[in-house]
Amino acid sequence: MFPEVPRGDEATLMLINLRQRLCLLGTFSLLMYVSIVCLSQKFVYGEGHWQRPIVLFVGLYLGAWGLYMLALRYLPQLLHQRLEVGLLLAFALLFRLLLLFSHPIQEDDFYRYLWDGKVVASGLNPYRVAPLTVLERTRNLDEQLNPLPDPLVEPSVPEATNEDLRRLARLSMQDGTFALILSRVNHPEVPTIYPPLAQAVFGLTALAAPGSLSALRLVFFGFDLAVCGLVMVVLRHLRINVSYVLVYAWSPLVLKETINSAHYDAIPTFFLMLALTLALKGKALLAHASLALAILGKVYPFLLLPVFLWRTWRNEGQVRALLGLGIVAVLVMLGYAPFLNAGPALWQGTLAFAERWQTNSLIFPFLRWLVGERWVANLVVAVLLGCSVLAFLSYYEVREDRLFLWVNFLVLGMLFLLSPVGNPWYFLWLVPFLCVFPLRSWLLLSGLLGLYYLWFYFVYRGAAGTFRWVLWLEYLPFYSLLVWEWLKKRENPRCELCRP
């Protein structure tokens, strides 16, 4: 991706200068994050929407991204010595520790995590009851005079849910912290959409520190650091300069969405990276087991199952591939088993997500306009993704390690671009791959996705329609650069995988 610099007699002096430049860039980046932490104090839930400095935050985010890109330019010149890698990781750690003290900026998904955690820790099923139903029951609780089934319970929800409602209502009435959390859960009319592994993480965190955002952040922080470690293992395996871990470790997108916003995606990303690492090391069955955990964390890694199966089939034969498929099936079923008493409601949140959500996407709205119906657009996306997976598997030889990673990256990239929901934190799935394939276009998109937060600025001013022009600012430069890279690749096929 970046130009190599000739090494000569002055290599040692040049290396010292590079360290100084990286220290300077790291220091300036640290100041950016200090500014973001200070600015975050003005983002208080439910207050001062008009006064929130959203535009200033976006400017600081883009400034941090600019410094990040400048640091990336020096990577090809660095030797993968412990001092350089340690320096990069030290700054990455400082950035994260600093953001642990920030207020979440324009994000509130963590309230759902905290509520689900309390529900699971109390021995209840979060898929059975929507938070809004609990809120209504809490407001009108009168168990002695009104023992009849709650009229707000959906017909598809099991009868036993009424008892669950009573228990959940008592929880919120007895604990002011959880009453506050419940009142702030977004989309409260929908039961949880988060799969079993997420529920396990939320529940265990609630047992250790009930209602604590800081505890959640520390858990995500730990998995985030573990992703950095796995990226370094992959880089060493591929004989790539380990300094390229900076692509993930310094990414403003990773820092904002994992630490500041406290989004959960670092955990399924960890298990996906673990699965990829195990596959590269020749441990196919363990790789399939880790992939199953990733699927139990977020459904999207299911799309990568054919890629893993095909590699196992090609490397170790049909029997091992079928065994890997069996491992995935058994672990996924075991993961969902404790929640099956929710009945059809188990999928109610996921179906609502598939049928209704549409955010920060450029291609999907066009498809929907083209075909008219949402379900038809969903079907078109599913067909395109399925055909893409088959095309990639037929074109690339996934037995080769780099090509195996490349196909996984392409599949997830297609999923992100075609999805009706292009939330910035969904891009976290792709950032570890950029350490191996540092494509300018995708790195550019990781910065431009910060413009997503301008949506709130326009919504607060009653001009949500204006955001469609921001969408073009997000995606048009990315697609333009992507086409340029593709044309360059056609001229020089040897640069296909952008080897660092």
Residue 391 scores a pLDDT above 70: yes
Amino acid at site 380: V
d(CA 436, CA 26): 22
Q: What integer pLDDT is reported at residue 495 of this predicted model? A: 53
Closest by Cα among 194, 112, 106 to 423: 106
- Cβ proximity of 437 and 497 under 8 Å: yes
Residue 464 identity: A
DSSP class of 10: T
How many of the other CB atoms lie within 10 Å of CB of 341? 14
Give the pLDDT confidence score for residue 487 in this predicted structure: 86
pLDDT at 140: 67
Q: What residues does 421 pair with on adjacent strands?
A: 359
**What would the pLDDT profile of 79-110 be if each residue is shown by its tens digit?**
656 777 888 999 999 999 999 999 999 999 99
Note the pLDDT of residue 494.
55
Which amino acid is residue 399, in one-letter code?
R
Average pLDDT, the chain: 88
28/150: higher pLDDT: 28
CB atoms closer than 10 angstroms to residue 92: 23
443 pLDDT more than 90: yes
Q: How far apart are CA 420 and CA 414, in angstroms?
A: 12
Reported as half-sphere exposure (CB side, CA atoms, 13 A), residue 309 has a value of: 20
**What pLDDT score was predicted for residue 47?**
86
Tokens of residue 328, six digits: 């995935």
Q: Tell me the residue type at 261.
A: S
404: tokens are 């195996």
CA-CA distance, 219 to 477, in Å (whole number)?
35
H or E stretch at 434: helix 431-434
Q: Return contacts of 175-178, CB within 8 angstroms, 24+ apart.
A: 175/211, 177/210, 177/211, 178/114, 178/115, 178/118, 178/210, 178/211
User: Would the pLDDT of 398 be above 90?
Assistant: yes
SS3 (DSSP) at 421: strand
Examine the pLDDT at 389 and tell me if it is beyond 90: yes
- Per-residue pLDDT reduced to its tens digit, 164-203: 777 777 777 777 788 889 889 988 888 999 999 999 999 9
Please write the tens of the pLDDT for every residue from 211-242. 899 999 999 999 999 999 999 999 999 999 89
Are residues 126 and 350 in contact, defined by beta-carbon separation less than 8 angstroms? no
**486 contact partners, CB below 8 Å, separation of at least 6:** none
Query: What are 277-318's pLDDT values in tens digits?
Result: 999 999 999 999 999 999 999 999 999 999 999 999 999 999
3-state secondary structure of 430: coil
Residue with tokens 């699971």: 120
Q: How confident is the model at residue 353 (pLDDT cuts 50, 70, 90)?
A: confident
How many helices (H) and strands (E) the chain has is answered by: 23, 0
Three-state DSSP state, 408: helix
**Residue 9, pLDDT score:** 46
Q: Any idea what DSSP says for residue 410?
A: H
Predicted pLDDT at 79:
62
